[in-house]
Structure 1
């Protein structure tokens, strides 16, 4: 019997577009179907913290920028965790921290490649949403880490620390260093960076308290997580505001570039610098007096938690709903908070007294 034309067309389409991104028009089994079958078989479609962790998964990390030292350390943490869990790590992403359209194309490519999960540090809170929703519709677990997108566009967000803690403590660190008095500036990354803007919002709120009545935020500059741009922005801030007493840079690239500029200028030791940096990047600047104290979390642990969250999602131990719990190896047990947020822990402060205790 001759196959009707419509059926031949559908069969041909299915053969050519068997990738998860397109396997919807003609029915058949998609990756989402397989995932749901796996979950139904072991958890009844609900989170089961005792479900066995799946092995042989492919988890892709998509940072804001590849070859960025911070994201390299985070990626190594994720890779190590996935190796212990019997799954595969891969990394891909743009070379520029402002290439939002590039991030979208990488999400689409990973969806086409049918990875099991992806861990994404979003450059923009909304730009990735359509692509990430498509990935989830095709059975891919989506975890954001370091920088979030909108809650409906991912399964869970692994936060470095409480956004409020990070924003307020950076102001407190700088205030202590300048005696709660004087003009200050912020050197951020990209204007659209979700995490940066959230932290800055809490910084502004902290500065409204009576304790900071003699401090004034005069400018927010953007170095786009580029070393040269951040160096130049630091120079510009000091030229524009000759009475500047301190700079907060909540970005590892920015604070290192600012420290580099200050260390070779007449402002060294006079203009205080704090923010978020890695001990290895800032050790020399702490020891030469350019930087007094700064803070961060362990990016390797952030990457590890993102990887373990992705595997827990793919295994049905969690679905991303508030109140669900899971164990993340040696990191301990975590409970998912409001809007699917998982907090790594409290930020750590680094200074001359403890910086040699850390190597990352």
Structure 2
């Protein structure tokens, strides 16, 4: 009897598991998904959207990449309106401004489109999910921890950011400033936050200006792939090479030469392709009814595995990674 009871229990559990699985709808085929990065000529955004295209192929979705050539606050509006007119199932957006796009995103949502932000968020009301590269606090604090280590926790530092309105940049900078309040940084001082507007030449000029304006500068954090590579290009032929520590967020392929020639000792990032990949799977899961966006809901994202939706619809890809001369050749992106 005991054996029979155990067998019945096992069968019941198996049946319940099968029922639960059957109740999870499959991803719909042929979904129309628009990827809208900050700007299309930014190397980081190219890699990011490549992940979305990869995911689209895996799930049989019609994924396209559109976007402006500049990262202005209003530059993405026409592309949102076009997505509405084309009756796209989902929009995956890296927002240039947290609030400027809200009226247009409201129209998109009213049309039935699912909105997922990646990399740079809107206000919570503008979307259902936000795919964050890593915890914003962790990124900001890690940048200060790294530059502190590079300059021996002593001296003046500056930040070379993207645009003044970039949501992700401003959040990271806020946490950098919080980290700098800790006792270990008592001999370090943030003297300037400069903005290169995610433009290569502007960032190059701003880096030059920082070094000329602050002769005692010991370190620069540039938490933007455009900024750090442009800053490194200036620094590589400057008398300040080896004297000013430049770090931030960049891709290995951008930064490899600067690491190998000693311009940059170490920098950080995640794999941006994973951000676009996860965002596209999340959008497809929303449209297919696998998830609604509530905290605690889980879904599967191909090769990245299972993810859980957090507070305010945030989903974190993973922690930032530090690249240096010892490991940079292991990566190709």
State whether TM-score is above 0.5. yes
Q: Gaps spanning 5+ residues in structure 2: where?
A: 1-21
Q: Distance in 2 between matches of 1:270 and 1:320?
A: 48
Q: Which residue of 2 aligns with 1:267?
A: 240
Secondary structure of the 1:304 match is: helix
- Structure 1 runs, 4 residues or longer, greater than 2 Å off: none
Give the counterpart of 1:50 among 10, 21, 24: 24
Mapping of residues 104-119 of structure 1, within 5 Å: 104-119=77-92
Shift of 1:321: 1.2
Q: Which residue of 1 aligns with 2:317?
A: 344
Q: Which residue of 2 aligns with 1:73?
A: 47
Shift of 1:296: 0.3
Report if the CA contact (8 A) 1:49-1:325 is conserved.
no
Q: Which residue of 1 aligns with 2:60?
A: 86
Q: Distance in 2 between matches of 1:283 and 1:187?
A: 20
Q: Which residue of 2 aligns with 1:241?
A: 214
Are 1:200 and 2:185 an aligned pair?
no
Q: Which residue of 2 aligns with 1:307?
A: 280
Q: TM-score, normalised by structure 2?
A: 0.93
Q: Which residue of 2 aligns with 1:145?
A: 118
Aligned length: 312
Q: Could you say what the CA RMSD is over the residues aligned between the two structures, in angstroms?
A: 0.9
Give the counterpart of 2:204 among 216, 222, 231: 231
Q: Gaps spanning 5+ residues in structure 1: where?
A: 1-47
Report if the CA contact (8 A) 1:49-1:326 is conserved.
no
Secondary structure of the 2:76 match is: helix
Q: Distance in 1 between matches of 2:31 and 2:41?
A: 24
Q: Which residue of 1 aligns with 2:102?
A: 129
Give the counterpart of 1:185 among 152, 158, 162: 158
Question: 1:39-75 CA distances to partner (integer Å, 9 max, x unpaired)?
Answer: xxxxxxxxx9821110101110001001211111111
Report if the CA contact (8 A) 1:181-1:215 is conserved.
yes
Q: Distance in 1 between matches of 2:50 and 2:126?
A: 25
Are 1:331 and 2:266 an aligned pair?
no
Shift of 1:109: 1.3
Q: Which residue of 2 aligns with 1:162?
A: 135
Q: TM-score, normalised by structure 1?
A: 0.86
Secondary structure of the 1:323 match is: coil
Secondary structure of the 2:99 match is: coil
